[in-house]
Amino acid sequence: MSDALQIMVPPVLYRYRPWSVVKANGRERKSVGEIEGRFAYFSSPVRFNDPQDSLLGPEFAHGKGDIDRLLFHELADPFSLARERGCSVIQLDPKDPAVKAAAESYNRREARKNTRILCLSWDWRSPLMWTFYAQEHQGFCLGYDTSSELFQRARPVVYTHSPNDVLHLQDPVMRNDPLSFCKSPDWQFEREWRVCLPEAEPKRVDPSKEVEPKRIDLSKEKLVSIHVGYRMKEAQLQEIADALSRAGYKPDETKLFRMERSPMSFLLSQRLIGWQA
């Protein structure tokens, strides 16, 4: 594998969405609002469903010893170095190159926590994706044209048994941290691409608090398709059509499809649905 990433972004990338999300305060947020408002939420990896994503390590679970586990993980590099040298962490020389490397490792991990990520897939018909990320076929899947500047930032996730396999990779254009695009092979079904937006002024993430996603304007991006799950109710489908109309989308530019199950098969297909602007 070459050190420099050679990227050809797929012409369309897809974003699976549940019909609604219940926030920490108990309030429901309908994902259809993202269509009408022409925006997307970029999330922190701290709140991803895979706790190993971006190599962040343990977070608070409100149980005994969680603080000790968290602190030990965040200071794992200097602790290991101190153990090797038979001294305490406070005895380490901050000018020592090895100590600097340990500090850089910690800072790099914190930077990944502060990155905001949009998760996409190049596959609109994955049964697992519809189940896990589109509310068990009750949600929808947004298809975006990737020719815009924002989506040209997209990079593929590398599925590997060891994060060491990606450390040599370089993204000379976007300067992305390769560990933000690295997951276990168990997640290959996602066929994932990501757009990462580093925070301008990273702050230490408090894992005991809810980390809010970052709302990003997509008014300049082209929404070319919406696939709705085969379990979506007709009233909800009408809400999507109304949202498209209010947002100024055109039927010949944004196609609407209903997902369907093929008879006596687990395969999914699509059926074009007409809608009025």
- Residue-wise pLDDT tens digits, 89-110: 667 777 777 777 777 777 778 7
Cβ partners under 8 Å of residue 146, min gap 6: 9, 10, 11, 12, 13, 152, 154
- Interhelix angle 76-85/97-114, nearest 10 degrees: 160
Confidence of residue 207 (pLDDT cuts 50, 70, 90): low
Instruction: Please check whether residue 115 is in contact with residue 203, taking contact to mean a CB–CB distance below 8 angstroms.
Output: no
Distances (CA, A) of 60 to 17, 113, 202: 27, 14, 20
Lowest mean pLDDT among 26-40, 42-56, 111-125: 42-56
Q: Which residues in 126-158 are b (16+ Cβ under 10 Å) and which e?
A: beebbeebbbebbbbbbbbebeeebbebbbbbb
| pLDDT (0 to 100) of residue 62 | 46
> Each residue of 34-82: pLDDT tens digit?
999 999 999 999 889 998 898 876 554 444 444 444 444 445 566 667 7
The domain segmentation of the chain, as residue ranges, is 12-44+117-273, 75-111
Distances (CA, A) of 115 to 9, 191, 218: 21, 21, 18
DSSP string, 199-211: -SS-----TTS--
Reported in sequence order, the residue ranges of the chain that DSSP labels E, i.e. its strands, are 12-17, 20-22, 28-30, 39-42, 116-121, 140-145, 155-156, 158-159, 182-183, 192-197, 214-217, 223-228, 255-261, 268-273
| Residue 267 token pair | 């395969």
| Residue 119 token pair | 């998760």
- Is residue 199 pLDDT above 90, yes or no? no
Residue 84, number of CB atoms within 10 A of its CB = 9
| pLDDT (0 to 100) of residue 63 | 47
pTM of the model: 0.84
Average of per-residue pLDDT across 142-166: 94
| pLDDT (0 to 100) of residue 1 | 40
- Interhelix angle 76-85/66-74, nearest 10 degrees: 70
Residue 217: Cβ-neighbour burial (10 angstroms; 0-12, 13-18, 19+): exposed
Average of per-residue pLDDT across 213-240: 96
